[in-house]
A and B are shown apart, each in its own frame.
Chain A
Amino acid sequence: MLSRVADSIYWMARYMERAENLSRLLLSTQDLLLDAGEEAADESQFWGPILMTTGDEERYDKVHTTIEGELVALFLALRTDNPNSILNCVRAARENARTVRDQISDELWECINGLRLFLESPEAAALHQNQRAAFYEKVLVASYQFQGIAASTTPRDESWHFLRLGLCLERADKTTRLIDTCSAISLDMPPNPLARPLRWAALLRSSSAWHAFQAYSSNKLNPVDIVEYLLPNDTFPRSFAWCIEAMHTALIALCGNGRLEEMKVPVRLLGRLRADIAYITMDEVLKEGLHEFIDRLQSKLNDIGASILQTFVLYGDSAPVIGEASFLAYHPKVEANMQIQQ
């Protein structure tokens, strides 16, 4: 498979997953506010952490002076000047799909293209204005469709593995960022006045894990249990450990296991992270500090993402990888190619 094709499939999956996560986050925050009662008087304490999760604080501050729900929701959903908005993520997914259209199924293409067409339509803006929940649900359903179609129409060759790598890496990253929004609040249970069960419930909802967690834990809404469920526990398909496991499967399929000296960099990096998360106890996590622990996971994830790009796409070029920059796939921030002549 061509590196460019691999890169585009990988980013197509990442951007679709990013759009889905963003929609769910906005939906659950909105729900959280409805339950928050008096606490909700200060909106910014709910919407601020969201901007932190998506890493868009700085960009938001450039266009708005105050953090208001309306503005944040629009900024993250439909603003074209926010490269990470749902709209721009779907556009990027679609552009990447377009360049490899002959390599993916027609159904998959139609699903992505259909979602893009909707998001660019006036109906989408109206729906977001009037029935925000329905808007987010529509994006969520399209993303589930994308995954279903991908699962049932993609041959289990390199295309599938790159698609899985992109999807799971994005999901693992977003799960850690979600948990991080709660890392500053107390891990205590009620009746301790510091306990914030609502916020923990929102975390579960943002991860689609509410029902699954209810069935899993008898200790309803124990923060430590929730973190355990979303981090080292590998049973739930949005937990960090589950994503790492799925990435591992895909990576081994792509480059084999082999002896340590011959092992490709992403396999080694991922293997270490996988062992780390499999054998860590919650006590150790809490001792290190939740935020610090998550920080460490995220930096490792970044290294893995960079090494994937280096190994499969940029190899041979000694170009260092900066952030998520790559010059093969389409990204919303990407600069137009230009030519010069003297």
Chain B
Amino acid sequence: MSSLFNDYQPGSFFDEMFSAPDSARSHYAGITGSIGTLSPAEYAARQRTADTVFLRQGVTFTVYGDDQGTERIFPFDLMPRIIPHKEWERVESGLIQRITALNLFLNDVYHEQKIITDGIVPRELVESASHFRPEFKGVKVPHGIYIHICGTDLVRDGKGEYFVLEDNGRCPSGASYMLENRNAMKRTFPGLLQSLPVRPVDAYGSMLRETLAHLAPLSVIDPNIVVLTPGVFNSAYFEHCYLAKQMGVPIVEGRDLVLKNDRIFMRTAKGLQQVHVIYRRIDDDFLDPLVFRKDSLLGVPGLVKAYQSGHVALANSIGTGVADDKAVYALVPKMIKYYLDQDPILPNVTTYLGVDPKECEYILANLPNLVVKAVNESGGYGMLMGPHSTKEEQTEFAERIRANPRNYIAQPVLQLSRHPVFQGDHFEGRHIDLRPYVLYGDRIQVVPGGLTRVALKKGSLVVNSSQGGGSKDTWVLWDDE
């Protein structure tokens, strides 16, 4: 039978959809049978429909360095990524295990520091982490939870094994794209979604609201929740508005909030109204100009004090970045063992720490085969891609690592899994990752799905939206076929 996927070559990678040419995995059977029968022109027409949906809804991100504040859509590839039930169960329990351990870790390093005194985590890693906040030592946070919203980045290797690449425990973004991707799919393939047992994601808004409401001071029955945004110039402003609308709560800027008697109020036309929970999308450094170093008008002077005195709750808490440090990341499996006495369900990518003298030697000896990352940089900055680097670059990096070993880690180069992506009139394989969203309120919930990011450039491993990445809808099935 002629199919859109006839000429598709999975290549030597792990392909999410095809185990071999013309041999689709069973959980993709439902859509190969329907989408596969479309002609390239018909498929392209559907893709255009989806693009218009995005434009019309204004699902955009702002491109920096452009004073017109150009807004672009995040490229969307129509072909959904499908995860069968069993596979997802493992991912889900792995994520729950991980966020539990990370929160126990944060609570520990800001209080008793047992994991340090017991010699599991070196003190230097914690105290010198740039996102560690000594101001928060000994401060009680609501329910002892630090990371309420987590967007963990997962990748699969050449064998299809899931690995955790990064825990984003500060202000993870992208949830709005997850929701809008599903909307676009509903518009373009309504029948298909109906006929397959796809788990819905649209409860995210109410789940998020529930999670936030759980943080409110106990005496408050109907808490006032707000989304705190840096403002219209922020690249994720669309998402901030979107999530605020999904939850039905106001979106505020720092200047809308004032401190009085250690309480936070928002200035409304009717007067000051107390705020109980702030879903903040501003980094720690900008949150309170009186406490943190960076002077900025984005935050609220006195917010930290109000938080410390328990009159207002923040999600995520302050100082969670210490768990995001790439060197601390390497120790998460040990944390899981230490706090939960369990083996990690989702393994880490093997990571060599510069701070460990032996591992540092290994890094220096194997630079051409490793990816070296600076621990506090993100978005592909401060990185050396070993196999694609020149001798000079390697020498330069070796010097940097020797001068400041604490600042570097290295990982083997991963062959990320690939997925068919539509390219004009046919499908080609492109590397992908997965960012599911975990919410920690009165219980831990994982949204069944997430944001599948695609490196649209052929051969590229970079999925970031700012660097030519796109996204896909992620379908988690109720069953395995």
Asked if A and B touch directly (CB within 8 angstroms), the answer is yes
Interface residues of A (CB under 8 A from B): 1-4, 6, 98-99, 101-102, 106, 158, 162, 254, 312-313, 315-316, 328, 337, 339-341
Q: How far is the CA of A229 from the CA of B350 in the complex (A)?
A: 83
Min CB–CB distance B73 → chain A (angstroms): 15
Taking chain B's interface residues, is the majority helix, strand, or loop, or is none over half, making it mixed? mixed
Min CB–CB distance B205 → chain A (angstroms): 15
Q: How far is the CA of A199 from the CA of B185 in the complex (A)?
A: 64
Q: How far is the CA of A6 from the CA of B58 in the complex (A)?
A: 23
Q: Within 8 Å of chain A (Cβ to Cβ): is B232?
A: yes
Q: How far is the CA of A2 from the CA of B257 in the complex (A)?
A: 10
Min CB–CB distance A30 → chain B (angstroms): 33
Contact flag A339-B267 (CB < 8 Å), given A102-B241, A316-B272, A328-B255:
no
Contact flag A2-B250 (CB < 8 Å), given A98-B232, A254-B269:
yes
Interface residues of B (CB under 8 A from A): 58, 231-232, 241, 244-245, 250-253, 255-256, 258, 266-272, 289, 295-297
Q: How far is the CA of A158 from the CA of B244 in the complex (A)?
A: 19
28 contacts between A and B (CB under 8 A): A1-B269, A1-B270, A2-B250, A2-B266, A2-B267, A2-B268, A3-B256, A3-B267, A3-B268, A3-B269, A4-B253, A4-B255, A101-B232, A102-B241, A102-B251, A158-B269, A162-B269, A254-B269, A312-B269, A313-B267, A315-B271, A316-B258, A316-B267, A316-B272, A328-B255, A339-B296, A340-B295, A341-B295
Query: A6–B272 contact, CB under 8 A?
Result: no
Q: How far is the CA of A101 from the CA of B268 in the complex (A)?
A: 17
Q: How far is the CA of A247 from the CA of B295 in the complex (A)?
A: 41
Q: How far is the CA of A99 from the CA of B267 in the complex (A)?
A: 16
Query: B269–A106 contact, CB under 8 A?
Result: no
> Which of A6, A99, A316, A339 has a CB less than 8 Å from the CB of B269?
A6
> Which of A2, A162, A316, A340 has a CB less than 8 Å from the CB of B252?
A2
Q: How far is the CA of A328 from the CA of B258 in the complex (A)?
A: 14
Min CB–CB distance B143 → chain A (angstroms): 29
Q: How far is the CA of A313 from the CA of B271 in the complex (A)?
A: 9
Min CB–CB distance B310 → chain A (angstroms): 24
Which residues of B have CB within 8 Å of A254? 269
Q: How far is the CA of A339 from the CA of B254 in the complex (A)?
A: 15
Instruction: Count chain A CB atoms within 10 A of each CB in B252, B255, B269, B270 and give the residue with the most.
Output: B269
Instruction: Count chain B CB atoms within 10 A of each CB in A2, A101, A162 and give the residue with the most.
Output: A2
Min CB–CB distance B228 → chain A (angstroms): 12
State the 4 A-B residue pairs at the shortest beta-carbon distance, nearest first. A3-B267, A102-B241, A6-B269, A312-B269
Query: B245–A2 contact, CB under 8 A?
Result: no
Query: B250–A339 contact, CB under 8 A?
Result: no
Which residues of B have CB within 8 Å of A101? 232
Min CB–CB distance B246 → chain A (angstroms): 12
Which residues of B have CB within 8 Å of A337? 297
Min CB–CB distance A116 → chain B (angstroms): 11
Q: How far is the CA of A340 from the CA of B244 in the complex (A)?
A: 32
